[in-house]
Structure 1
């Protein structure tokens, strides 16, 4: 079956976070994403955004949706599986993860060498309350192609189990040291 790929709007993402009741979990497994984005180019050029200048980096629709979910008691977790030594893009992600943490996410990192015996889906995903999976599709270069929404029990169970195993093995953002 060919997946139905669509691009979720900020309003749709916000709605997903607003309807979450317990847990929103995100698993990232790529070593680079959208490497031509301006924020990455600025970081590479030494023009990183000041973490203290919240207005410069806070995206009200994205960070606001996460913060609102966390304020309602929803746990928002992000786990990243990364190759080591890490890519330049992962160094950038690590440097800007303060935005995720400030919004209320718990973030953990798992070196890929520690994930070899895990059963993982083929794409990054978000899972909402063990009821809906949103797969993220990318080109080989890391550009976003869109999202695929799935609610079949077997798909939800696979992603829930995969995330739980990664989360258990991964280390907290503040403890993970880049190699």
Structure 2
């Protein structure tokens, strides 16, 4: 198995339905060091501005937080591993300080797999995906500028088995974010 998964393109409404319909687990593997997202651009700029002014990082609350809290209350589990290259990009610092701290407070298990620049963990692809209930694979296709191009639902059993293996491998080799962040200040600069 090589290359990228071949799936059925789905729109954002169908993606959101996957989050409604899953029963037990939602796992996310993140591999990019920057994500180009319109909905986060203002928060990212505020983060950089607050840092430059010496203002404590603000966290804010989002719809995702409420969704995770409700899912956790219903017995669901949310897990995420981000393979991060050190030194951290400004975006990853923002994602850690603004996003992960908040998601953890909502109940998500966020983990980090740190690597040095130029290295990559053996056995893990450079692919971003969500895996729902260990049986539904949502592949996320990003452009070179880190903007989301498409989402595809992959039903090929070989890819689903691989995604489960990647999840297990990533979870085993990663460390909880709350442990990882102790090496950094509020804005995720090394201490």
TM-score range, shorter chain: 0.7 to 0.9
Q: In 2 relative to 1, CA 58–116 (structure 1 residues): closer, same or farther, beyond 3 Å?
A: closer
1:73 aligns with 2:81: no
1:161 aligns with 2:170: no
Q: In 2 relative to 1, CA 41–75 (structure 1 residues): closer, same or farther, beyond 3 Å?
A: same
Shift of 1:2: 6.2
CA-to-aligned-CA distance 1:18-38 (integer Å, 9 cap, x gap): 322221100000000117712
Q: 1:172 aligns with which of 160, 164, 176?
A: 176
Aligned equivalent of 1:125:
129
**SS in structure 2 opposite 1:32?**
coil
- For 1:25-44, list aligned pairs within 5 A: 25-34=27-36, 37-44=41-48
Q: Distance in 2 between matches of 1:168 and 1:89?
A: 25
Q: 1:104 aligns with which of 107, 131, 144?
A: 107
The alignment's C-alpha RMSD in Å is 2.3
Q: In 2 relative to 1, CA 92–22 (structure 1 residues): closer, same or farther, beyond 3 Å?
A: same
Q: In 2 relative to 1, CA 161–117 (structure 1 residues): closer, same or farther, beyond 3 Å?
A: same
> Tell me, which stretches of 5 or more residues in structure 2 are unaligned?
185-189
Q: Distance in 1 between matches of 2:83 and 2:96?
A: 12
Aligned equivalent of 1:17:
19
Q: Distance in 2 between matches of 1:20 and 1:35?
A: 25
Shift of 1:166: 0.7
> Tell me, which stretches of 5 or more residues in structure 1 are unaligned?
none
Judge conservation of contact 1:25–1:126 (CA < 8 Å) in 2: yes
Shift of 1:135: 1.0
Shift of 1:134: 0.7
